[in-house]
Chain A
Amino acid sequence: MEIRKGIGVSPGIAIAKCVVIDSKDYRIPRRSILDSQRDKEVQRTRNAFAAAIKGLTEISSRKTIEEGKIKDIFAVHMRFLRDKAFHKRITDFIRKERVTAEFAVSTILHEIASHFEGIGDAYISERAADIYDIEKRLLTNLLGKVQEDVEHLREEVVVVAHDLSPTQTASFNRTFVKGFATEAGGRTSHTAIISRTMGLPAVVALGDLTSAVTAESMVVIDGNRGIVVVDPDEETLRQYRNYARQVSLFVHQLDELKDKPAQTKDGVKVQLLGNIEFPEESQVVRDKGGEGIGLYRTEFLYLYGGVEPTEEDHYQAYAEAVKVFGRQPVVIRTMDLGADKLPQTIRQAPEANPVLGLRSIRYCLQNLGLFKTQLRAILRASVLGDVRLMFPLITNVQELRQAKMILRDVMEDLDEYAVPYNAKMPVGIMIETPSSALTANHLAAECDFFSIGTNDLIQYTLAVDRGNEHVSLLFSAAEPAIVRILRSVIHDANKAGIGLSVCGEVASDTEYIMLLLGMGVRALSLAPPMIPEIKKVIRSVNIEGCNALARRVATLDSQRQIKNLLRDAITQALPETL
């Protein structure tokens, strides 16, 4: 039995045999096989060679392939694929090292290629590219087979991979795939988003996992606690089966809340909105009882195509989400990436400290072409429903004014071409830096709403990177400094009479809901699957109790005291919460 800790990005429990998916875009990890599986892996290699030869014969016999360079390249590939010494080197490696066919192919071909690269001869060095091509050909056959198997599953499985690409996840047979565990990724990785959309448990950022499992491994994915157990012992398995039953019972109860209002026992209404990444998630938000989108992250547009998105790409993505919600609000946040995350075509020189560098609104204000394209698309979509625009990472009033000035420019452009848009579209900002939080009174005078992004606000206020395992325990919303800064922002927003919501992870943490309500928050935006649970919390509390709790928290001076008080309060109000 092996227990691995990662980040739980989609809640739920899955227990099943695993399917391991490799990808030819990265180095295939070493994965051990049993003695009894060696013949099978050798046979798979043989089949891959045969399939590659067949494929190559078909391609090179096409009339379009003229004599010359291309034909030469195919000729080299063909001779390699028919080379018995080459074939033997791979199968010997499988037998001796007891590894998968994929790993053997990848290792041996990399060895050959680096040998060629090492020869001082330019002509031969260039042949290394051919070797990588041959590797691709073989891996396509090997991995394609696995991918096909996943598409034609007959029993329930969990998928284990280094990382999953959109194309891979799109083709999974959803009846049989029960959960995901990946080595790479974070809360906003593709796997995270897709699993939340599909409502399947997922844990990411597990480090080396694919080498710890074999095709026979039983795997438990605990998306609630971010744990993956490989080959659990009987007792662990029994515990998890019980836990899974409880979870599914609880989820079932929650689903009954879907059409009930999110209001406290004493009748105070709270608006529950969804945070989404992809337009397709809009429907999930609705299904879970969300009343709109409180945070539409638009970064996927920049990350998936490899090139800068066109105005039409933006517009289509926004229109799709807005149409799902009719007259309910959809808050679209402008591009929030660091320069380091942008596609190659628009990438810039690396920075020493990207978190404090040219990112998000700062990048947009320096790259007006990119910024205006997005603003034009958002404005065009604004006539389709209740679209609201939000600028991220604002640190002062000047930045806000500058961003709004560019928005006016774009509006004038649209006027010129008589393109319709909502001239009264609400414009708000993320409060996610101490600087904007401390000057919230000034900012509130010049925008229509705030959305508090607690993840970044905590990181910048406490100077803690929660992705850094050495300090991540210091990352807590229950720090007195965070409580005070939240209270001050909420106060400034309410005093100015502008809209206010909380869209960070705190908004989906059952322990913090009473505090947020007590401090005056009336709108929360959170990951769609969490909406029912948070609604249940809201429906179980009295606003008077929340107010008293908030007043009490304000007097405490340590994170531990605050955390304990919050935990006691919610346990009292809702004993069955998970």
Chain B
Amino acid sequence: MKGAVCEIEVEIRNAQGLHLRPAMQLVDLAGGFKSAITVSNEKDTVDAKSIMQMMKIVTPYGTKLKVRARGRDAHEALEAIRKLVEETLFGEPPPEPAAQSNKG
């Protein structure tokens, strides 16, 4: 696969964290790009297009993940993923303010 290797860091901001439903959304989104895309936490690096692998990266609210893409549409892919994770929060709510201060 030609193209640059790009990397960003995203933070999980929805209250429930990266669980099954968000993971499925991410897999669906990643599957639409040509680039090879991986997601890493401290322990594992997994294929963002594989639900089997993504389910290894179960992460609570507040975790930071590295997303790496390689291929022609790498930039677009990372930008779309960032939007899904940090802006639309997988269509899920953010934590209640009280919970947030607990974490803080």
Query: What is A's interface to B at a CB cutoff of 8 Å?
Result: 72, 75-76, 79-80, 83-86, 89, 112, 115-116, 119, 121, 123-124, 127
Contact = CB atoms under 8 A, between A and B. Distances in A.
A89 B51 CA distance: 13
Contacts of B19: 123-124
Given A76-B24, A79-B24, A79-B27, A124 B53 contact: no
B72 to A, nearest CB: 19
B5 interface: no
26 contacts: A72-B20, A75-B24, A76-B24, A76-B51, A79-B24, A79-B27, A79-B51, A80-B52, A83-B51, A84-B49, A85-B47, A85-B49, A85-B50, A89-B52, A112-B52, A115-B56, A116-B55, A121-B58, A123-B19, A123-B20, A123-B58, A124-B19, A124-B20, A124-B58, A127-B20, A127-B55
B50 A83 contact: yes
Contacts of A86: 50-52
Interface residues of B, number: 15
Contacts of B51: 76, 79-80, 83, 86
Nearest to B53: A85
Nearest to A115: B56
Given A119-B58, A121-B58, A123-B58, A76 B50 contact: no
Contacts of A85: 47, 49-50, 52-53
Contacts of B55: 116, 124, 127
Nearest to A121: B58
Given A76-B20, A80-B52, A86-B52, 12 more contacts: A72-B21, A79-B24, A79-B27, A79-B28, A79-B51, A83-B27, A84-B50, A85-B47, A112-B52, A115-B56, A123-B19, A127-B20
For A83, A89, A115, the residue with the greatest tally of chain B CB atoms inside 10 Å of its CB is A83
Interface string B77-93: 00000000000000000
Nearest to B59: A121
Interface in B14-31: 19-21, 24, 27-28
5 smallest beta-carbon distances between A and B, as pairs: A85-B50, A79-B51, A86-B52, A83-B50, A124-B58
A124 to B, nearest CB: 5
Interface string B26-59: 0110000000000000000001011111011010
A119 B51 CA distance: 16
A422 to B, nearest CB: 64
A370 to B, nearest CB: 45
B54 to A, nearest CB: 9
